A and B are shown apart, each in its own frame.
Chain A
Amino acid sequence: MSLSTADVQKVARLARLAMNNTEIEAARSQLSGIFELIAEMQAVDTTGIAPMSHAQDLSQRLRADNVTETNQRELFQSIAPQVESGLYLVPQVIE
């Protein structure tokens, strides 16, 4: 299967990855090779087979609705790229 340049550009945008034209072309060629490998599974008849999302059949555990974590804002913000007055700073979103 061969991907178009527009396909790769769309995926890069969805994945929030900045890519220039050279990178898009390189990705297009490598991804096409990988999708050729993946295409092998397309021919398999899976009628009536239930999808397997997980190795074990588990149901979600529940717990009592109690506070289990303490406030560690200062510790967590000590590794943030940019903080001010206990807030995470990002470029302005709303005018």
Chain B
Amino acid sequence: MFNSSLTQLGAALRAKQISSVELTQLYLDRIATHNPVYNAYITVDAKTSLAQAAAADAQLAGGQAQALTGIPIAQKDIFCARGWRTTCGSKMLADFIAPYDAHVIEQFNRAGAVNLGKTNMDEFAMGSSNETSYFGPVRNPWNQNAVPGGSSGGAASAVAARLCAAATGTDTGGSIRQPAALCGISGIKPTYGTVSRYGMIAFASSLDQAGPMARSAEDCALMLNVMTGFDERDSTSLQRDKEDYTRDLNKPLDGLRIGLPKEFFAEGLSADVGSRVAEALAEYRKLGAVIVDISLPNTRLAVPVYYVLAPAEASSNLSRYDGVRYGYRAPDYTDLADMYEKSRAQGFGEEVKRRIMIGTYVLSHGYYDAYYLQAQKIRRLIAQDFTDAFEQCDVIMGPTSPSTAFNLGEKGDDPVQMYLSDIYTIAVNLAGLPGMSIPCGFGDNTMPVGLQIIGNYFDEARMLNVAHQYQLATDWHSRAPL
């Protein structure tokens, strides 16, 4: 049962082959057995989850079931959920009990889904390996010495290890797609503004976007149907009609134009990852697609631009953690300034402090034009590259990450090396476009390889169609590490 798709689970629940309480208990048992190794969850609250499951069973019995009613979903610990400890992977919020629900959590509650627990993540979503979490690193179910990617590493590990039916993630520079690639699952970051950021703890507000992480594109489509929607409490939430993201799943791909950016296949890409992506493209040709060579000439600038803009926004967003109204406060201090400085120094981890320092520097007097303004101008050039490319193609494809999962500790001492592992995903956030990763085989070290699919604004239904057709023709997405 724990290997079933969301569609199969929904059907089994509606046919009374299993109850939501039984299904939730099945996953809770799997978490109790495997989480001590994978560390994919920070908080599990069986009593609350089972109460939600019992309520879902009542809905099912009353014939009011929706697609995800009664299905256990793991929530990234960046989403505030009322009454749940919500830590964002930080000592700063280690004891923070959220007093309200994020919009995403409200949407899942309305859909009758069960909150199975809060997944581990890099502290404040700053990291690409899940090693910056205050609650310890997550392990990759395909190899326990390897990282799961980050920042949504707990979500990716939980989906791959079958410790939930599906999970939520957030993606500021690749935090859904890169862990999805490294753990061999599917994940989509939708167009900026389609999922409300209300109650999603802020990192870099002009880039942060939530999305689903699941076992297949079809499951992602069902999750996205629940997660998206206008919310007036997020000033960047887009007022658009509600979409059914499953509507195009079964369309044929005849004539689909796939753009291949030459910059994604240059120096720095591991040979095995390049080969698997080439094989996936050969499969797409068989499905009727045509390949178009394109160029995204400013790709190499995406990482430097991101490491100005994201820390700048983060330094501003994280100024709220002052030890006064909530969060960690240092035990000893002499005066108010000392209390702020010690609470922040002790409450934040090294990577978060590093990014606050970068952001504070680039925004400080005398440097604003040279760094922040220059980065915003290049951001427009990067976005324009994509606009030009989409005149020639329908979707863009390439690797999600330059290599398969690296080992725990391998890049820990060198922040620049870690930052460069997001080179193919970051530009998509800067432009605000939707991006997806699906499994397309295994590298030389038998670890999963991810194929990235980038779509034009609001083209999620087409991207899910493109991914689903590949998953009908191949079985990489159904391989499990167990």
Contact = CB atoms under 8 A, between A and B. Distances in A.
B193 interface: yes
A61 B335 CA distance: 41
A80 B324 CA distance: 7
B315 A15 contact: yes
Nearest to A15: B360
A80 B325 contact: yes
A34 B378 contact: no
Contacts of A6: none
A41 B357 contact: no
Interface in A30-45: 30-31, 33-42, 44
Given A52-B380, A55-B192, A90-B339, A38 B431 contact: no
Contacts of A8: 357
B354 A31 contact: yes
B308 interface: yes
Interface string A56-95: 1010110100000000100110111110000010111100
Give the most central of B370, B377, B430: most A CB within 10 Å. Answer: B377
Contacts of B328: 81
B415 A34 contact: yes
B354 A15 contact: no
Interface in A4-31: 7-8, 10-12, 14-19, 27, 30-31
B381 A46 contact: yes
A42 B375 CA distance: 9
Interface size class for chain B?
35 or more
A37 B356 CA distance: 17
Contacts of A82: 329
B353 interface: yes
Contacts of A35: 358
Contacts of A52: 376-377, 379-380, 383
B325 A76 contact: yes
Contacts of B334: 91
Given A15-B360, A33-B415, A53-B376, A81 B192 contact: no
B97 A79 contact: yes
B376 A81 contact: no
B416 A91 contact: no
Contacts of B326: 76, 79-81
B371 interface: yes
A88 B325 contact: yes
Contact of A17 (B207, B356, B431): B356
A20 B304 CA distance: 28
B442 interface: no
Nearest to B306: A38
B236 A18 contact: no
A81 B381 contact: no
Contacts of A3: 361
Contacts, number: 164
A78 to B, nearest CB: 8
Give the most central of B333, B336, B338, B361: most A CB within 10 Å. Answer: B361
A88 B431 CA distance: 41
B345 A19 contact: yes
Contacts of A61: 232, 235
Contact of B361 (A31, A58, A91): A31
Given A31-B354, A53-B376, A75-B99, A41 B360 contact: no
A46 B304 CA distance: 15
Given A33-B415, A41-B378, A81-B329, A27 B373 contact: no
Contacts of B192: 55-56
Interface of B: 95-97, 99, 192-193, 206-207, 232, 235-236, 238, 300-301, 303-305, 307-308, 315, 319, 322-329, 333-342, 344-345, 348, 353-354, 356-358, 360-361, 364, 370-371, 373-381, 383, 414-416, 419, 430-432
30 contacts: A8-B357, A15-B315, A16-B319, A16-B322, A16-B344, A17-B353, A18-B338, A18-B344, A18-B345, A30-B354, A31-B361, A33-B415, A34-B416, A37-B307, A37-B416, A39-B304, A40-B301, A44-B381, A49-B380, A52-B376, A52-B383, A55-B193, A55-B207, A55-B432, A58-B235, A81-B323, A82-B329, A90-B324, A91-B334, A91-B338
Given A11-B360, A51-B373, A88-B325, 17 more contacts: A14-B364, A15-B344, A16-B319, A16-B341, A18-B338, A18-B341, A27-B357, A38-B308, A40-B304, A41-B378, A46-B377, A56-B193, A58-B235, A81-B326, A81-B328, A90-B339, A93-B335
Interface of A: 3, 7-8, 10-12, 14-19, 27, 30-31, 33-42, 44, 46, 49-56, 58, 60-61, 63, 72, 75-76, 78-82, 88, 90-93
The 5 A-B pairs with the shortest beta carbon distances in the complex, nearest first, are: A55-B432, A51-B376, A81-B329, A52-B380, A46-B377
